[in-house]
Structure 1
């Protein structure tokens, strides 16, 4: 098996589970850039890993995970309008 694919799969797991752990323990807000970026790259890495392993249902879940993270980044960067 390609070790690179396995390594990025494990990195993806650490990023997503680590961000969740810190969020649950009140050390990282779900709206923070670190949380969102961790989920974005974790999802990308998982998508690559699951694609190579032909685990297509998991791949679709991770693609959705990435889209949600991108939407959160865009929302954070959207300028607010003054009333």
Structure 2
């Protein structure tokens, strides 16, 4: 049984470190996969830490678990909500220069006297 708790701790370490490496190297975006790996890894660390009575580690990993769980719930709720309406294109009023551009005004033509 002790071997199972040790394997749990090492599997948790592998999950969290692999996710962190993948995000840090740009192989994975910090999304559902990253948060799921953190959630599972923290669970494994909680089991291992409780077995070894390493309470500071257990408390830290409970916080890690809660952060990942809340992030996953928030990701799910944003996916289920309808997409925001498309932003309206900016309005260009006649005679007003566009943002960042200088107005070019034609000089009035001189009247010809003949």
Matched, 1:22 2:22: yes
- The residue number in structure 1 matching 2:39 is 40
Write the distance in 1 (CA, Å) between the matches of 2:15 and 2:76.
22
- How many aligned positions are there? 82
Cα distance between partner residues in 2 of 1:61 and 1:50: 10
The aligned residue for residue 61 of structure 2 is: 62
Considering Cα pairs closer than 8 Å and 6+ residues apart, tell me whether 1 or 2 has the greater RCO: 1
Structure 1 consecutive aligned stretches of length 4 or more whose deviation exceeds 2 Å: 79-83
More helix by share: 1
* CA-atom RMSD in angstroms: 1.4
Q: Which runs of 5+ in 1 are unaligned?
A: none
Counterparts of 1:80 and 1:61 in 2: how far apart (Å)? 32
Query: 2-side partners of 1:77 and 1:29: how far apart?
Result: 16
**What's the CA shift for 1:80?**
2.9
Could you tell me the TM-score, scaled by structure 2's length?
0.68
State the distance in 1 between where 2:27 and 2:18 align. Answer: 11
* Residue of structure 1 in register with 2:88 after alignment: none
